[in-house]
Amino acid sequence: MKILAKLIFEFLRLIFRSKQDIVLENLALRQQLAVQQRSIKRPKIKNNDRIFWVWLSRIWNDWRSSLVIVKPPTVIGWHKKGFKLYWKRKSRRVGRPNIDWELIKLIRRMQKENPTWTAQRIQGELVKLGLDVSDNTVAKYIRKSKFDDGKRQRWLTFLRNHAKHIVGIDSLVARTIFFKSIHVFVAISHDRRKILHFALTENLKQNFELIAKQER
């Protein structure tokens, strides 16, 4: 952080200097840098250096002409890596941790021995045994019954008969290259997967108002 603060200070100092002084200082620094490059084969790059060059590449179009410590694709790679780390952090698993395998086996054993019991009933029995677990967690680990083929066929028939009149709607969040949130509302025709309508907003409150308006 000290290096970044120093760079910001130098930037502010250069604003009030004459153009000739800046050009001469730039020439002197480039000559010393060329000498140093002959003696150091590979400089050690720190995270502060990566952050600086990623930031500079976003605000200065000609940043490649002054880059000598690494190649331009390396800086672009740093930015991509930062974007991946950002999404990894945003996608971190939250909520309750997974339960013990012994408890999962007990839940499935109770379901097998009592096939008519629901997740709520099994959860109630577990509480009596002193095991604190929610009914949603129980429902997650019980074995699902086989899907009724007849019901599936009836649903597929309904979709085929009414696909032209069914519209799928959804709301999602997209991120820009600068990690800015954009809320998106989309309406898609069910039969041809054609986008019928979409709308964008940067405000979460406006997004809810937009959905309500579009649904009306």
In a domain, 84, yes or no: yes
Choose the final residue of a domain: 49, 69, 90.
90
SS3 (DSSP) at 209: helix
Confidence (pLDDT) at 38: 64
SS (H, E, C) 103-158: HHHHHHHHHHHCCCCCHHHHHHHHHHCCCCCCHHHHHHHCCCCCCCHHHHHHHHHH
Q: What is the pLDDT of residues 135-194, one digit of tens each?
A: 888 888 887 766 555 555 677 788 788 888 888 888 888 887 777 888 888 888 888 888
Tally of domains within the chain: 3
Q: What is the pLDDT of residues 73-125, one digit of tens each?
A: 988 888 888 878 877 777 766 666 678 888 888 999 998 888 888 888 998 89
Whether residues 33 and 11 share a domain: the answer is yes
C-alpha pair distances (Å), 196 with each of 129, 166, 203 = 54, 12, 22
Choose the final residue of a domain: 80, 113, 141.
141
Confidence (pLDDT) at 15: 66
In a domain, 96, yes or no: no
In a domain, 95, yes or no: no
Helix 72-90 vs helix 47-59: crossing angle, to nearest 10: 100
Confidence (pLDDT) at 211: 60
Residue with tokens 């800015």: 180
Confidence (pLDDT) at 205: 65
- Cβ neighbourhood burial of 52 (10 Å; 0-12, 13-18, 19+): middle
Q: What is the pLDDT of residues 7-59, one digit of tens each?
A: 666 666 666 667 766 666 676 666 667 666 666 667 778 888 888 888 888 88
Residue 43 is part of which domain span? Answer: 2-90
